Structure 1
Amino acid sequence: MTDTDALYAVTPLDGRYAGRTAPLAEFASEAALMRARVRVEVEYLLALADLDAVGLDLTPDERGALREAYEGFDADDADLIKRIETEGARGYDATNHDVKAVEYFVREAAPERSHPWIHFALTSEDVNNLAHRLLVKPAVETVLVPALRDVRDALVEFAHDYADLPMLARTHGQPATPTTFGKEMAVYAARLGRAIARIEAAADDLAGKLAGASGTWAAHEAAFPDVDWRAFSRSFVDSLDIEYVEPTTQVNPSDDLGALFDAFRGANGVLTDLSLDAWLYVSQRYLGQQAAKSETGSSTMPHKVNPIDFENAEGNLAKANSDLAFLSAYLATSRLQRDLSDSTVKRNIGAALSYCLLAYSKLGDGLRKVVPNEEVMREDLRETPEVIGEAVQTILRREGHGDAYERVKELTRGERVTIDDFHDLFESLDVDEGVREELLALTPETYTGVGGDIARDA
């Protein structure tokens, strides 16, 4: 697609953001689905040929030519399949059926004596459910998970580099016990790491079926009752590096895809939280942004450097999760044995994953452009000395002061206090001098617990 063509794309995934979603094209495009279907048809034919009952002998050269049909699959092959489906080609009338068009395409690479065995006793869903999983699994493993790991790596780097940088925390939007910037990034890194593990587990559990028109192998059994078709199907699906599912109806119920989509929604929830917090940190000037000289932040306010990458990530994560929730719910249902609505819906899997990838890419850009503003963070802490109140009342409780909480509350709640106000309180307390010195040493900048250690463990 040229730059001009991209301007006329129906969706931004193939237009404005085509460069960012391109890594998924080999797994999410219609041509990719064609190629995967060809692979299933070819490998199924070869598996049949290995059955003594079938009696189909294929030479090594013939087997190689069949595998080349998908291993060397190119744009011309995709175009031929589409023409067979929509207008007819190579002596075939238009099928108006995408899987039948693939069957006829495979005939072009197969010796004529094997033609009766292509798509033998299969229903289209036997091919489609395996083809989709042959695409989704590597898309997750080679594109999406690495993109997520890049974000996690950036968070870990922040955690280590700024492990001890003190920062005011806010609960309910109000000043709270200080933390460190590194520790906050470590929390996100840990959450994202767990989310990635759930995605990887769900991808490993993707499961396929091959059981005929109603899930009973009826046609297979009618033709060859002495073959253990259940064992054959299990072996065949396993050979594609996909888990085997049984029993099914005509359709694979797609519970496995739902689990994967839900796992992605979990990761996207973590990253939405991160995007919102990063945006707020920029707003508070806790994070400074690198300003590109050629960029425009506002059409009317020349001074602005907007957190556009975090905003873009937030929007696309929301779009992705909306689509993933729809797919997860919709694909888990099918009228009676099946209805065809799942077929058109599954064509949107690639779009949902593309919105994920777009968001991960934008979030990564945003993280690379920001730098913690240490002086702003420290100044904010110095201006909110009331946050050491927790430490004060806790130490006094340790010393047996039953009214510790109430005394600190009276001094600080809803009041603007200074560190000197605390020092006056400490001087009035009936405590050992060692305890008084301990209290006098408290500062918001040093009251960060083991935040630094937590960050370094990321």
Structure 2
Amino acid sequence: MANSVSFPAVSTPLSAHQDRVSLAAAEPQIALGALDGRYRSAVAPLIDHLSEAALNRNRIHVEVEWFIHLCAEQALEGLPSLSEEQVAGLRGIVTGFGPEEVAELAAIEAETVHDVKAVEYFIARRLDALGLAELTPLVHFACTSEDINNLSYAVGIRDAVEQVWLPAARTALKGLGDLAAEAAEVPMLSRTHGQPATPSTLGKEIAVFVHRLTRQLRRVEAQEHLGKINGATGTYAAHLAAAPGLDWPALAQRFVEKLGLTFNPLTTQIESHDWQAELYADIARFNRILHGLCVDIWSYISIGFFRQIPVAGATGSSTMPHKVNPIRFENAEANLEISNALLDSLGATLVESRWQRDLTDSSGQRNIGTSIGHSVLALSNVTKGLTQLAVAEETIAADLDANWEVLGEAIQTVMRAEAIAGTEGMANPYERLKELTRGRRVDAEKLEEFVTGLGLSPAAEARLKELTPAQYTGLAAQLAREFAATS
């Protein structure tokens, strides 16, 4: 996602960064992609973490913190201790990264034709003013570009997921949980294989999605974000050449963990990206479950189980005034599909690298923002769509009342129990109900007549005669209330 917008703080355990200069909130140029054009407002928060400008700011952040870390650890002979003012000044390079700095860095990169080298020169230009000109060689010390890039991406992805995607997912789940609770006791005809089946409640069926999505959310929340800083081929060779007596793996681990990441102790030139593939698989699975929800909601709308609440002034159809189209759920479906296509591709690409390094991961990772952006856009549409639904209890009740044959399951199961208890005349219960109900509608009167003639025990006969399709929902309401709360 290109073009500059305001950047709030990147949260890290190292510093609060609450006073960063905002990048210009300029109007974007005509956009090639929908996320930077039509849907920009829905995904703009991701730009603060996954845009090119955000990546460069994170690179500066990692380089600066590595510089500070080396001094604090006295990693090299002759390194001075930095004053509080110098540390603050170094971190100010990050917090002061605004539109002018973006332009300056771009100009340096135009000369170097190397993005990470441009960052190194950008930082070096600022050391003299901090009284640190003699420490210019310490910038990017013993680092390969991937040492900086893998940590910068990890910080950006972590913050994008924690600060943007997860809150959007939780908001959508909250709306879904509220709907499940609201409709917990609304009896509904189920349809298995598209055919009338044992009734449930609308809330219980929604709660199934709440439960499934919540499980995936917990996987995303628990994801490790790995990082490494171990040199050109992961051997610490340059580090040991400069300071052979230092425990560089331990120093590197302390640094990576200070960034709030999990240390990867063994890599080639690149961090292996397995954790990214794991994360994208979990988000994609969440997306697929959400896609299933959208299809079901759309289908319930189409048969009148939900009424859509018209938005004042909105046009449902360009030619048919009566229509209110379920566009929120249709939009979500499309964006979830696009998101998953990208996430699946990233997950497959990023876990492979030719020998010790190739650049396929570099090109692939530039699409992380787009892949997550389409998921965020879908979540926004689901959240809005849920607020525009009203449960049509009358329609649901009429549909259920037209299908008394679904009580055939209850009757033949009670007959089985009666047979086990020793009641005579209970043979072939399934076959007898099949003969009565298959391929035809059976009303309350016919069922009562059938039950009366079975010779059931008085208690069982009374229980079945009192039963209606609306009452034949088992523990559905209880389950709905229990699992709606997990949202």
Contact 1:164–1:182 (CA under 8 A) maintained in structure 2: yes
Task: Please report how far the alpha carbon of residue 108 of structure 1 lies from its aligned counterpart in structure 2 after TM superposition.
Answer: 2.3
Task: Please report how far the alpha carbon of residue 109 of structure 1 lies from its aligned counterpart in structure 2 after TM superposition.
Answer: 2.4
Contact 1:285–1:376 (CA under 8 A) maintained in structure 2: yes
Q: Distance in 2 between matches of 1:376 and 1:42?
A: 63
Task: Please report how far the alpha carbon of residue 60 of structure 1 lies from its aligned counterpart in structure 2 after TM superposition.
Answer: 2.2
Partner of 2:169: 148
Task: Please report how far the alpha carbon of residue 7 of structure 1 lies from its aligned counterpart in structure 2 after TM superposition.
Answer: 7.3
SS in 2 for 1:127: helix
Alignment equivalent of 2:115, drawn from 98, 123, 136: 98
Alignment equivalent of 1:270, drawn from 281, 289, 295: 289
Contact 2:404–2:441 (CA under 8 A) maintained in structure 1: no
Alignment equivalent of 1:199, drawn from 187, 201, 220: 220
Alignment equivalent of 2:96, drawn from 53, 60, 72: 72
SS in 1 for 2:188: strand
Amino acid at match of 1:178: P
Partner of 2:368: 349
Partner of 1:122: 143
Partner of 2:274: 255
Amino acid at match of 1:358: L
Q: Distance in 2 between matches of 1:168 and 1:75?
A: 58
Partner of 2:443: 418
In structure 1, runs of 5+ residues without a counterpart are: 87-93
Larger mean CA deviation between 5-14 and 19-28 belongs to 5-14
Contact 2:316–2:322 (CA under 8 A) maintained in structure 1: yes
Task: Please report how far the alpha carbon of residue 344 of structure 1 lies from its aligned counterpart in structure 2 after TM superposition.
Answer: 1.5
Task: Please report how far the alpha carbon of residue 5 of structure 1 lies from its aligned counterpart in structure 2 after TM superposition.
Answer: 5.6
Q: Distance in 1 between matches of 2:146 and 2:96?
A: 24
Contact 2:46–2:373 (CA under 8 A) maintained in structure 1: yes
Change (3 A) 1:239 1:335: same
Alignment equivalent of 1:83, drawn from 107, 111, 116: 107
Contact 1:31–1:75 (CA under 8 A) maintained in structure 2: no
Contact 1:386–1:418 (CA under 8 A) maintained in structure 2: yes
Partner of 1:89: none
Partner of 2:14: none
Q: Distance in 2 between matches of 1:316 and 1:272?
A: 9
What percentage of residue pairs aligned between the two structures are identical? 43
1:38 and 2:60 are equivalent in the alignment: yes
Q: Distance in 2 between matches of 1:23 and 1:418?
A: 56
Q: Distance in 1 between matches of 2:46 and 2:288?
A: 22
Report matched runs for 1:387-402 at 5 Å.
387-400=406-419, 401-402=426-427
Larger mean CA deviation between 292-301 and 377-386 belongs to 292-301
Q: Distance in 2 between matches of 1:159 and 1:354?
A: 27
Amino acid at match of 1:31: A
Q: Distance in 2 between matches of 1:194 and 1:273?
A: 15
Report matched runs for 1:225-264 at 5 Å.
225-264=244-283
Task: Please report how far the alpha carbon of residue 389 of structure 1 lies from its aligned counterpart in structure 2 after TM superposition.
Answer: 0.8
Partner of 1:177: 198
Larger mean CA deviation between 156-165 and 429-438 belongs to 429-438
Larger mean CA deviation between 272-281 and 57-66 belongs to 57-66
Partner of 2:79: 56
Change (3 A) 1:358 1:54: farther
Structure-2-length-normalised TM-score: 0.90
SS in 2 for 1:179: strand
Q: Distance in 1 between matches of 2:185 and 2:87?
A: 62
Contact 2:418–2:457 (CA under 8 A) maintained in structure 1: no
Contact 1:209–1:237 (CA under 8 A) maintained in structure 2: yes
SS in 2 for 1:298: coil
Contact 1:65–1:109 (CA under 8 A) maintained in structure 2: no
User: C-alpha offsets along residues 61-106 of structure 1, whole Å, 9 cap, x if unaligned?
Assistant: 22211111112221211111111101xxxxxxx1000000000111
SS in 2 for 1:64: helix
Cα RMSD for the two superposed structures: 1.5
Q: Distance in 2 between matches of 1:414 and 1:155?
A: 36
In structure 2, runs of 5+ residues without a counterpart are: 6-24, 420-425
Report matched runs for 1:274-353 at 5 Å.
274-353=293-372
Partner of 2:384: 365
User: C-alpha offsets along residues 375-409 of structure 1, whole Å, 9 cap, x if unaligned?
Assistant: 00000010011111111111111110231111111
User: How many corresponding residue pairs?
Assistant: 449
User: C-alpha offsets along residues 278-309 of structure 1, whole Å, 9 cap, x if unaligned?
Assistant: 00000010010011232222222221110000
Q: Distance in 1 between matches of 2:29 and 2:327?
A: 21
Report matched runs for 1:374-413 at 5 Å.
374-400=393-419, 401-413=426-438
Amino acid at match of 2:123: V
Q: Distance in 2 between matches of 1:174 and 1:8?
A: 49
Change (3 A) 1:289 1:236: same
SS in 2 for 1:170: strand
Amino acid at match of 1:130: L
Contact 1:211–1:233 (CA under 8 A) maintained in structure 2: yes
Contact 1:42–1:67 (CA under 8 A) maintained in structure 2: yes
Contact 2:328–2:381 (CA under 8 A) maintained in structure 1: yes
Amino acid at match of 1:113: E
Contact 1:34–1:102 (CA under 8 A) maintained in structure 2: yes
1:12 and 2:34 are equivalent in the alignment: yes
Amino acid at match of 2:225: L
1:441 and 2:458 are equivalent in the alignment: no
Contact 2:349–2:360 (CA under 8 A) maintained in structure 1: no
Task: Please report how far the alpha carbon of residue 4 of structure 1 lies from its aligned counterpart in structure 2 after TM superposition.
Answer: 11
